[in-house]
């Protein structure tokens, strides 16, 4: 069925009617993957995540953790200063109000879907949030947070160091070089 629709009609369904790829696939009797491939082949740009209406799951998370949060640095500082004091309706069980998960590589991620650096699934690394609270602003694109003792789940401020990506890479190269020299002896 997808072969019988013009590029203009597909663009209209997606952009003008606001249908998702899944909804278009259901309407045309094909798979969402086929719709996606056709849109890419037809150079139909995809919408940014912010252009989609919130899902029921997002609305439920906002209800549980508090209303959708502002992206301003002042807002994040107010939400995260002094532990739970300014969390309002957000869950007081967690330091930053969102659900925490430990990744297989040892890092802890926190569910903060409205954070500008949130991943596609709505999570932000906890060490990033701790450092942003400390400095009162979001990290710049060229900044990273280094764990001094190399324990990825140790997110105490005294164990975190703000560095540029270049400084961080250089530090790890020096550490690897020193480790190789020590093993050679």
Of 49, 23, 25, the closest CA to residue 37 belongs to: 25
Q: Answer yes or no: are the C-beta atoms of 79 and 69 closer than 8 Å.
A: yes
Give the pLDDT of residue 75: 52
CA distance 53 to 11: 18
Give the pLDDT of residue 161: 94
Model pTM? 0.50
Q: Answer yes or no: are the C-beta atoms of 149 and 160 closer than 8 Å.
A: no
Of 71, 52, 62, the closest CA to residue 117 belongs to: 71
What DSSP letter does each residue of 63-126 carry, written as one string? Answer: HHH-SPPP-SHHHHHHHHTTTTTT-TTS-SSSTTSS-EEE-TTS-EEEE-TTSTT--TTSEEEH
Return the percentage of the chain with pLDDT > 70, whole number. 74
Beta pairing partners, 125? 109
pLDDT tens digits, 61-113: 666 665 554 444 555 555 544 444 444 444 555 667 778 899 999 999 998 88
């Amino acid at each position: 069925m997808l072969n019988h629709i013009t590029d203009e009609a597909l663009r209209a369904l997606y952009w003008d009617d606001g249908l998702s790829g899944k909804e278009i696939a259901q309407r045309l009797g094909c798979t969402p993957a086929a719709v996606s491939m056709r849109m890419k082949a037809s150079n139909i740009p995809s919408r940014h995540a912010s252009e989609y209406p919130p899902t029921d799951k997002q609305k439920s998370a906002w209800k549980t953790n508090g209303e959708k949060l502002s992206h301003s640095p002042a807002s994040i500082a107010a939400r995260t200063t002094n532990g739970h004091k300014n969390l309002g309706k957000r869950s007081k069980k967690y330091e930053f109000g969102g659900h925490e998960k430990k990744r297989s590589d040892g890092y802890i991620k926190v569910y903060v879907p409205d954070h500008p650096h949130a991943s596609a699934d709505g999570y932000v690394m906890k060490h990033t949030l701790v450092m942003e609270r400390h400095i009162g602003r979001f990290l710049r694109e060229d900044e990273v947070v280094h764990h001094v003792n190399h324990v990825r789940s140790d997110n105490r401020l005294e164990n975190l160091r703000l560095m540029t990506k270049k400084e961080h890479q250089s530090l790890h190269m020096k550490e690897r070089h020193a480790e190789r020299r020590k093993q050679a002896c």
